[in-house]
Structure 1
Amino acid sequence: MKRRDFFKKGTTAAVGVGVIPIIASSCISTKDMVDERANDQWYHLGSGKKGMPNRKQTVSYDVAVVGGGAAGICAAVASARNGSKTVLIQDRPVLGGNASSEMRVHLNGVNDINGKAERETGIIEELLIHNRFENEQESYPVFDHVMYDFVVREPNLTLMVNTQAVEAIMDGNKIKAAKCWQSTTETMYTIHAPIFIDCSGDGLLGASAGAEYRTGREGKAEFNESYAPDEPDGWQMGVTLIMEAKDMGRPMAYTPPSYAIKYTHEGAHPRRHFKWYKDGIWWIEIGSEGDIIADAEINRHKLMGYLHGVWDYIKNSGNFPDSENLALSWVGSLPARRESRRFMGDYIVSERDMTEHKHFHDAVAFGGWSLDEHNPGGIENIAEPPSYFHYHFKKIYEFPFRSLYSKNIENLMFAGRNVSQTHIALSSSRIMATCALMGQAVGTAATICNKNNVLPREVAKNYINALQEQLLRDDAFIPNRPANDANDLAKKASLIFASSTRSGDVKNLLNGMSRDIDGKINHWQSKGLDASVQLEWENPVEISVVELKCDTNVKRNIMMRKDSRNDELYGNHVPKEMLKSLSVQVRIQGQWKDLGRVETNRTRLIKFKFEPIKVTAVRLHLKETYGAKNIKLFEVRCYS
């Protein structure tokens, strides 16, 4: 059966229920929820008294972020660091979403552009490097705790786990508050905030607020998309269960459980291969033609059956003699979802925006993963390939801010797979590190909203330059958008020079581009270690902040992989190019003064802060890397 025939006719095997009204069936109401405790018969033996537990709390924040995956983590951290009292609400006991130990999906981004990465920087890179320091053993449960540490160490950020935002309380076209149920404490929280950010993927808060959204696939005609189906339909890419196996050093028998679904590979497409099956098989997935959220438990049960059916085939078919000593060491129970709601913003990103590399004046993020549309029939349509890699990008594309806020709910933004885009565009931008860039953008935008008493649409109209400049300062990268911060005193230096130069030009440190890209060199590199860079001003300037961006080799991926690859494209350790030790001096009335020193730097963006002081020069002493023979920088900034 041809792919389009399969989707046109549908299949009773792939869809257990008919198409049902999405909004009516997917948004629960708390009207029937028990949040009153008048009948609670609590007798406390310690006090000898009867009473009722307090199971209601009302709290207020500047920004409320819903969803603790990569997008939500970056949104919350960006918001908190830029001055907003922020809460991050996560419905699971762990952070990370699909990258957590519950699902164990690789935290991919722009992994491969012409044989090289074009890795994301900013908050998501900081998190991944933090994991390289704290989790050398590459354990997914430890990664959960690394992400937890990354969030709770922020002084302006409150984390609420095991908590789901179940309903928006509205004031006209604004979300006034969110009702949130914390299952572990049996507490209903009412969380007030002027700005809400939905990074939950499925977007229950946004849907309950009445934000416009769509599901399914656009037809070719609506956006002139060459890879879209001829006519629109309801299909959404599937959810996947992952497994892992361990070599036990002796033959291991396997008996499938009662719910296993028999699997044979007969008639399967050649791309449904079993390479690296010890680390999981991503095409054990099921999509939906109707309400993929309502189908979640049906699909979870079926996926568990298919997973064990596939493992039974591997172990007992005789086709995989190398599996004799293997046993399942971990089996997922929570499917990883690729697609459900897509909220509508002031702009809908489509296929051609990406493939034709449209330039957006309000670009705040970038992507470059292939247009990777998974067969929504999933494992129930094995004659087709598991994914259609429609288009492989040769350079990165831009993503606009206007697709990251709601067109009809005034104080709602979103980041991740639920943003304003078509199904085909989603097939690329759904990748977690790309979603993380969106998260940093909306978290930063939220603080601009609060500081200026404006809403997201006004940020898009009147504050987009401020948003872009802050993102660039915080080490995000925006294609075709050099930084040009008027407050950066380094740009006003009369002279900049270095102790040695192996490649690039020390003046590149002031050109606003924080990576080498599109064949252009934007770095300065020393000859050997123990180098220095110096800035001079003709007249004294008052500074209190010095910032620099060092090299972490963004052409090589650093996310954790189950196969722990270490080659030209993937690294399984701290980037050797990163600066390890450095110090800063300033010249005051002709005398040099030490102002700061770092011995074990752990970030690409390095900041020195001190009391304001008038200087005529700044000198950076760059001592040591984590293994590279030379030192490379991309930017130096100074602020009052």
Structure 2
Amino acid sequence: MKRREFFKKGSKAAIAAGVVPMIASSCSGAKDMVYDRDQDKWYHLGTGKTGMPNRKKTVGYDVAVVGGGAAGICAAVAAARNGSKTVLIQDRPVLGGNASSEMRVHLNGVNDIGGQAERETGIIEEILLHNRFENEQESFPVFDHVMYDFVVREPNITLMLNTQAIEAVMDGDKIKSALCWQGTTEMLYTINAPIFIDCSGDGLLAATAGAEYRTGREGKAEFNETYAPDEPDGWQMGATLLMSSKDMGRPMKYSPPSYAIKYTHEGASKRRKFAGYHEGIWWIEVGSDDDIIADFEENRHKLMGYLHGVWDYIKNSGNFPEAENLALDWVGSLPCRRESRRFIGDYFVSEKDMTGHKHFFDAVAFGGWSLDEHNPGGIENISEPPSYFHYHFKNVYEFPFRALYSKNISNLMFAGRNVSQTHIALSSSRIMATCALQGQAVGTAATICNRENILPREVTKSHINELQEMLLRDDAFIPNRPANDANDLARKANLIFGSTTSSGDAKNLTNGMSRDIDGAINHWQSDGLSAELQLEWESPQSISKVELKCDTNVKRNIMMRKDSRNDDLYYNGVPKEMLKSLSLQGRINGQWQNLGLIDNNRTRLIKFSFESKSVTAIRIKTTETYGAENVKLFEVRCYA
């Protein structure tokens, strides 16, 4: 196999990315700065050595994940926890993407279905709970470090920050390697892996691999979409630049910088509101009808000008006297992108799939944010509403695995806003927690690919049930798909009962549904604490793992907000319903023996692991929550 000639084909893409300093030169005969360093004049005074040390490394992993936003973090953690040696490649100095301190977008998900949340569980919930314990002050810079901790504590993950995947090296229809530039070390990495997952949003690696993609808006006719334009066009939703202000307790002057763009609000849509402006205005955005990636720097400069123009209007127009004591406290310099490339998979999700709540045999994730299509033109089209909230969902919709891998690059998967979907479908599924669910799905699928020596398409054909069962066990929720794990010994128990019951039934804990959904009760709730749950078998069972799913109140959101909102829909602390302290016993030869104790649980999915024991019963004693009077459980599992 002849390797793709990077410096001929890839230099344009690399330089456009803005990370690689002169990987190649347009001057005929000029030498590149990475592969040819023999002219470097370094003299090391401590050692007396001359010449540049090697700035090239080749490393191999089971799974390579590109992009360290919510989707990429969840993909990498899922792959690593399921046994894959994983690298997570992030082109910024911090993790989190749009939710990081560089951009500070709320990590939204479904958020609100009919006045109630239907919050995501699994790995993304773990991240948000970890933040509630470690970042009570709700600081975005601290959230960066919470996410960093969440990733680096996984022993199977290698994290590469300040690193961009700039070029795919191909072997037929497979990515053999990713060439990655780490700007802080001047290092060019060649990363080899059998499976690549592009969660970078813009998808540079996937694009250089030749993966099919499209940009812009589909016309109504292609997918029979009600909310699409009559004819296709090139518009992509804009990027936003945020800011925050601080009340200084005294009048504060403001003078706009030289690049500010005057804003008057004259002729603006009534839906362009200033509510909560002290924490940023999401409709300060600029899109593109052409190449939104190539336009990024021009649009960034515009956005900085528009942001200061709007703030000048707030401070100096006289229409906002309440802003007299406010001063800018933080101003973003990195716009938050909503849309660019959308890669084509074996299935292309459209508006009607969502609004019609299509059932997919290969469903692996869900969504429910409204069809929220931002106005073409953004702030440069202020007479129109900033967003058309076309459709508000009353139930969550399913998202299929076939939309999460490439149609023509056989070992490439995606998660995030770059997956296989129409522009209108993207207007809902682009929300970060929804992207995170996709990330957990593809990270889990990657481990199946490596274990079985297969490619993602074969997972759909032969292993989709296994993928779904793995996700459900790891506390993902898949609508209309109850768990049915044949290896779960709890399902074979002859008797299951609680010491007290205030609602539900202990038998619900093995019905495969790990949340109350669509009005159905799928839980057991005690009447006070302490409370016990017991499972009995007629014959001894060899058990080494017991897993529980407790209550974290998925009807209430726990993402960090700038306004620290705390009401019926949002909570700014650790969920009081979550189980804090519990113990496990097993009945062995007629005698109860202690098998485990957890004093400060911090997750919805609680796991006990111990040496295999032959038991005829297990007993779970729950002693404390984080504030609720009763304990509520949704599932119990037992494994050999």
TM-score, normalisation: structure 1: 0.96
Instruction: Tell whether the 8 Å contact from 1:110 to 1:119 is kept in structure 2 after alignment.
Output: yes
Partner residue of 1:432?
Answer: 432
Unaligned runs of 5+ in 1: 1-22
Q: Distance in 1 between matches of 2:623 and 2:551?
A: 14
Q: Distance in 1 between matches of 2:454 and 2:15?
A: 30
Partner residue of 1:321?
Answer: 321
Partner residue of 2:4?
Answer: none
Please give the secondary structure, in 2, of the residue aligned with 1:287.
Answer: strand
Q: How many residues align?
A: 618
Instruction: Tell whether the 8 Å contact from 1:168 to 1:179 is kept in structure 2 after alignment.
Output: yes
- 1:40 Cα shift? 1.0
- Answering whether residue 476 of structure 2 is matched by residue 466 of structure 1, we say no
- One-letter amino acid of the structure 2 residue matched with residue 569 of structure 1: L
Output aligned runs, 1:235-634, within 5 Å. Answer: 235-634=235-634
Q: Distance in 1 between matches of 2:476 and 2:39?
A: 53
- Answering whether residue 198 of structure 2 is matched by residue 198 of structure 1, we say yes
- 1:307 Cα shift? 0.2
- One-letter amino acid of the structure 1 residue matched with residue 76 of structure 2: A
Please give the secondary structure, in 2, of the residue aligned with 1:267.
Answer: coil
- CA deviations on 1:159-187 (whole Å, 9 max, x unpaired) are 00000000000000000000000000000
Instruction: Tell whether the 8 Å contact from 1:577 to 1:632 is kept in structure 2 after alignment.
Output: yes
- Answering whether residue 167 of structure 2 is matched by residue 158 of structure 1, we say no
Please give the secondary structure, in 2, of the residue aligned with 1:50.
Answer: coil
Task: Give the alignment's Cα RMSD to 1 decimal.
Answer: 1.1
- 1:321 Cα shift? 0.2
- One-letter amino acid of the structure 1 residue matched with residue 297 of structure 2: E
Q: Distance in 2 between matches of 1:49 and 1:203?
A: 41
Partner residue of 1:214?
Answer: 214
Instruction: Tell whether the 8 Å contact from 2:38 to 2:51 is kept in structure 1 after alignment.
Output: no
- CA deviations on 1:513-542 (whole Å, 9 max, x unpaired) are 000001101000000111010000000010
- One-letter amino acid of the structure 2 residue matched with residue 538 of structure 1: E
Bigger mean CA offset, 429-438 vs 27-36: 27-36
Q: Distance in 1 between matches of 2:620 and 2:13?
A: 56
Q: Distance in 2 between matches of 1:31 and 1:81?
A: 39
- CA deviations on 1:335-367 (whole Å, 9 max, x unpaired) are 000000000000000000000000000000000
Please give the secondary structure, in 2, of the residue aligned with 1:459.
Answer: helix
- CA deviations on 1:174-201 (whole Å, 9 max, x unpaired) are 0000000000000000000000000000
- CA deviations on 1:569-624 (whole Å, 9 max, x unpaired) are 00000000000000000000000000100001000000000111111001000110
- 1:27 Cα shift? 6.7
Identity percentage of aligned residues: 80
Instruction: Tell whether the 8 Å contact from 1:587 to 1:618 is kept in structure 2 after alignment.
Output: yes
TM-score, normalisation: structure 2: 0.96
- Taking structure 1 as reference, are residues 418 and 27 closer, same or farther at Cα in structure 2, changes over 3 Å only? farther
- 1:34 Cα shift? 2.5
Please give the secondary structure, in 2, of the residue aligned with 1:366.
Answer: strand
- Taking structure 1 as reference, are residues 127 and 534 closer, same or farther at Cα in structure 2, changes over 3 Å only? same
Q: Distance in 1 between matches of 2:371 and 2:162?
A: 34
Q: Distance in 1 between matches of 2:491 and 2:421?
A: 38
Partner residue of 1:35?
Answer: 34
Q: Distance in 2 between matches of 1:363 and 1:47?
A: 60
Partner residue of 2:174?
Answer: 174
Q: Distance in 1 between matches of 2:521 and 2:639?
A: 25
- Taking structure 1 as reference, are residues 31 and 455 closer, same or farther at Cα in structure 2, changes over 3 Å only? farther
Please give the secondary structure, in 1, of the residue aligned with 2:260.
Answer: coil
Q: Distance in 1 between matches of 2:410 and 2:295?
A: 30
Please give the secondary structure, in 2, of the residue aligned with 1:468.
Answer: helix
- 1:25 Cα shift? 7.2
Please give the secondary structure, in 2, of the residue aligned with 1:481.
Answer: coil
- One-letter amino acid of the structure 2 residue matched with residue 481 of structure 1: R
- 1:51 Cα shift? 2.3
Q: Distance in 2 between matches of 1:637 and 1:48?
A: 64
- One-letter amino acid of the structure 2 residue matched with residue 41 of structure 1: K
Please give the secondary structure, in 2, of the residue aligned with 1:272.
Answer: coil
Instruction: Tell whether the 8 Å contact from 2:178 to 2:190 is kept in structure 1 after alignment.
Output: yes
Q: Distance in 1 between matches of 2:50 and 2:435?
A: 49
Q: Distance in 1 between matches of 2:595 and 2:229?
A: 61
Instruction: Tell whether the 8 Å contact from 1:238 to 1:287 is kept in structure 2 after alignment.
Output: yes
- 1:41 Cα shift? 1.0
Q: Distance in 2 between matches of 1:112 and 1:25?
A: 43
Instruction: Tell whether the 8 Å contact from 1:26 to 1:293 is kept in structure 2 after alignment.
Output: no
Q: Distance in 2 between matches of 1:347 and 1:24?
A: 32
Partner residue of 1:188?
Answer: 188
Instruction: Tell whether the 8 Å contact from 1:25 to 1:294 is kept in structure 2 after alignment.
Output: no
Instruction: Tell whether the 8 Å contact from 1:27 to 1:208 is kept in structure 2 after alignment.
Output: no
- Taking structure 1 as reference, are residues 27 and 397 closer, same or farther at Cα in structure 2, changes over 3 Å only? farther
Output aligned runs, 1:62-101, within 5 Å. Answer: 62-101=62-101
Please give the secondary structure, in 1, of the residue aligned with 2:50.
Answer: strand
Q: Distance in 1 between matches of 2:11 and 2:610?
A: 56
Q: Distance in 2 between matches of 1:191 and 1:199?
A: 16
Partner residue of 1:18?
Answer: none
Instruction: Tell whether the 8 Å contact from 2:11 to 2:24 is kept in structure 1 after alignment.
Output: no
Unaligned runs of 5+ in 2: 1-9, 17-22, 26-31
- 1:35 Cα shift? 1.1
- Taking structure 1 as reference, are residues 79 and 545 closer, same or farther at Cα in structure 2, changes over 3 Å only? same
- 1:24 Cα shift? 11
Please give the secondary structure, in 1, of the residue aligned with 2:143.
Answer: helix
